[in-house]
Structures are given as structure tokens and as C-alpha cells.
Structure 1
Amino acid sequence: MIRIVLADDEHLVRGAIAALLGLEEDLEVVAQVGRGDEVVGAVAEHGADVAVVDIEMPGATGIEAAARLADRRPGCGVLVLTSFGRPGYLRRALDAGVRGFVGKDAPVEELAGAIRTVHAGGKSIDAALAATALMAGDNPLTPRESDVLRAAADGRTVADMAADLGLARGTVRNHLSSAIGKTGTATRHEAAAKAHEMGWL
């Protein structure tokens, strides 16, 4: 029996997925959580073999939860189940140790098969998303440019961003200018939106 922790902040979606997986003879959902920062504890408490996580959750993203599991519970495979097919998400997920990436619109048979593959130590990546990620190329932003764009997305002023990030205002402006150029946009707000759309933030 493959023991599964299911993490999704949408209660109805989580319940429906758990019910469908429960119909499989070799799969058992042993815990459900609605926050990314609850995943590691649930895996440890229930001895789960696979964590199926959404990307965007309160507390921690699914990608952050995967990285924590890789560090603290490396024996637990991680599969991302998401409605966000952004190419940057796939690359970041793989870097965090995720071995499965499936869309929420996939048939339950595909999800169940992906869970079995991840449990066996293999990888199961949605083919269309993998192709899109390859065509999109690598994330062009540096870690500091990403930090600045995240701050810009909240509508903060340059002065506020500089204070929050511990940088000089001129340095923040330089990072914003570079990020705007790399994203092919005209303003910092457009740059933040484009980076988010691509899954780079």
C-alpha cells in the first residue's frame, strides 16, 4: 500500500482527489492538509511514501514544501498536482526534488499512475508542460532581481523595497531596470506580472 499525504488549500478539491485516489486498491490517503508548512509534519507523523502537493498554498508553496521534504524526509517522493502550468514552476519544482508534475485536469488514472511511478523512484512529468518549459528556456532573473520583483509586485516604493531588502535605493533601481529588460516589459509592475506568469517568482 502506498501511503499518501495530500496538500491543497481548496477543501473541496482536496476531498474529491482523496476520494478518487481511495478507490485505487494500492493507494491510501493517510492525511490531508491545507497549508504548505504542514506537509513535512504530516509526512513524518503518518510515515507517508508520497506527498501530493498543490503549488500555491498558504504557509509555504508546494515547491518550498518539496525542498523541505528533500532535506528532512528524503525517502518521501513528491508529486505536484496543480492548475498552474507555468513553465518556470516545473523547473523550480525539479530543482527542489519533485519527481512528478501533473495538471489537476488530468484523469485520475494518470494521477494514480504518476504516484506509483514516483513511489518507485521514477519521474512522471506532464509532457505538454515539459515541452513548454523547454521552449521557454531558463529563468533569466538573478535571485536578487527576483527578490526585488516580488517586492515590486506588492506595490511598494523603491524606498520601501530598499529598506525591506537592506539595499541602497540605487541598487534596487538597477535590479529593477535589469529585470525589466530581461522580461521585455516597460515597467516594474509589468515585469513582476510577467515573471509571475512564467513561474519565475
Structure 2
Amino acid sequence: MSISILIAEDQHMVRGALKALLELEADFRVVGDVASAAEALALLEHQPVDVLVTDIEMPGASGLALAERVQERWPRCRLLIVTTFNRRGYVRRALDLGAGGFLLKDAPSEQLADAIRRVAAGGRVIDPELMLDALGECDPLTARERRALLLAAEGLSTARIAERLCLSEGTVRNYLSEAIGKLGAHNRIDAARIARQKGWLY
């Protein structure tokens, strides 16, 4: 029985290489390769798959946001994160979302194929060093603080952030102040930089 796979990767060359590699496996069937979370969700509406192979940093919604939506809508779809970024916040968030695997893009191709088979069978594949690192430092931000910080990093003013989140400006200032304090940052932009480096903004 073949394993149906959807690839979500914004870099065209990388996406093409992944598809070509996976199509060499007799038991794999790549049913789609898309460049964004929105395209992945649109395809899944009409084509259920066994395994979603997704990058993290993509235009629009991130791979982690995509993983969250997929788990809500299609809980039987297994998740494998394949990324360039070895950030403990990403790994921890992927685990929290129930991802079956987390691999770096420089992993050998045979390791990717093996990981897909194990994830499709209900197993979990995460490099031991990545796992230990992920368990080291917890994300101190609340969901609201993270969202406010993410919008601040996009250059939005306090008033615009308040409008987007349907909150008062005072509440937004409190969220940003809390985030800055928790991260030991100098200002909101510095806080966003620190949080992004640690993989806590997604």
C-alpha cells in the first residue's frame, strides 16, 4: 500500500528536489507540492494525505501554523517538519502540535524516506540532540504576547496592533512590556529578534 504525501515548501528548487527524491521510492505517492500553507490547506480540502512534509518558514502562515490547522481539521494526517532552522522553540512547538518527525534539510535523503515511513506508521522521528535541546528552555511568552510581538515585528503601531487583536492600546502595551521584560530585551523590536532566534515567534 502506498503512502500519499503532500510537500509544502516555498523554495521552488528545494521543493522540486524533495519531490524528485520521494518519487524514487516505490511505496510513496506525492499527490501535491505547494509553496504555502494556504495552498496546502486548499489541496487537503479535496485530497486527504497520509503525511504532510512541511517547511517552517514560508510566506504567510508558517509551517507550524499549518501543522496546527491540519491537526484540527485532519487529525489522521501525520506531520513531518523538514527545515533549515535548528531552533529549540520550533522543535518544542512541533512536538506540542503532535508532529511525528522533525528533520533538518541537511539530513541524508535515505533518512527522510525512513522518517516518512515511520511517521506514517504512527512513530516519531526526531534527532536525539534536537530533542534534548528542545527540552532545555521553555517559551515564556503567552499566546497574546506572542501575537502582539509578531505584529510589532511587522512594524505595526500600538494602535494598529490593538485594532487587529480587538484589544485596548493599554492592554497591547502591557503585553509588549511583559514580553520585553521576560526576554530581557531593550525594546519591542529587540524582543521580537530574541524570540525569533529562539523559535518562539511563528
* Same fold per superposition (TM over 0.5): yes
Show CA shifts across 1:19-63 (max 9, x none).
111222222222111111222343454442111011122342211
In 2, Cα distance between equivalents of 1:5 and 1:40: 10
One-letter code aligned to 2:160 = D
Contact 1:43 1:51 in 2 (8 A): no
Output the CA distance in 2 between the equivalents of 1:178 and 1:20. Answer: 46
Cross-structure match for 1:95: 96
Structure 2: 5+ residue stretches without partners: none
Tell me the residue number matched to 2:139.
139
Report whether the alignment pairs 1:112 with 2:109.
Answer: no
> Are 1:52 and 2:89 matched, yes or no?
no
Which residue in the other structure is 2:24 paired with?
23
Q: Which residue of 1 aligns with 2:3?
A: 2
**Rounded Cα–Cα distance in structure 1 between residues aligned with 2:171 and 2:92:** 28
Figure out how many residues of one structure are paired with residues of the other and give that number.
Answer: 200
In structure 2, the residue matched to 1:164 is 164
For 1:15 and 1:93, the matched residues in 2 are separated by 24
Q: Quote the Cα distance in structure 1 between the aligned partners of 2:36 and 2:25.
A: 25
Q: CA offsets per residue over residues 156-193 of structure 1, 9 Å max, x none?
A: 33233333333333322222221111111111110011
The alignment-based identity, stated in percent, is: 50
2:135 is paired with a residue of what secondary structure?
A: helix
> What SS does structure 2 have at the residue aligned with 1:106?
coil
Gap change, CA 1:12 and 1:155, over 3 Å in 2: same
Cα deviation, 1:89-143, whole Å, max 9, x if unaligned, reads: 11222222211111111111111111011000011112222222112x2210111
| SS of equivalent to 1:167 | coil
User: 1:64·1:96 contact (CA, 8 Å) conserved in 2?
Assistant: no
Is the CA contact 2:92–2:135 (under 8 Å) kept in the aligned structure 1? no
SS in 1 for 2:82: strand
User: Can you list the C-alpha shifts for 1:67-105, whole angstroms capped at 9, x where unaligned?
Assistant: 222222222211011112211111222222211111111
SS at match of 2:30: strand
TM-score scaled by length of structure 2:
0.91
Q: Distance in 2 between matches of 1:143 and 1:178?
A: 12
Give me the whole-angstrom Cα distance separating, in 2, the residues matched to 1:6 and 1:160: 35
**Cα RMSD between the aligned structures?**
1.7
TM-score by length of 1: 0.91
Does the CA contact (< 8 Å) of 2:148 and 2:172 recur in 1? yes
Where structure 1 has 5 or more consecutive residues not aligned to the other structure, the ranges are none
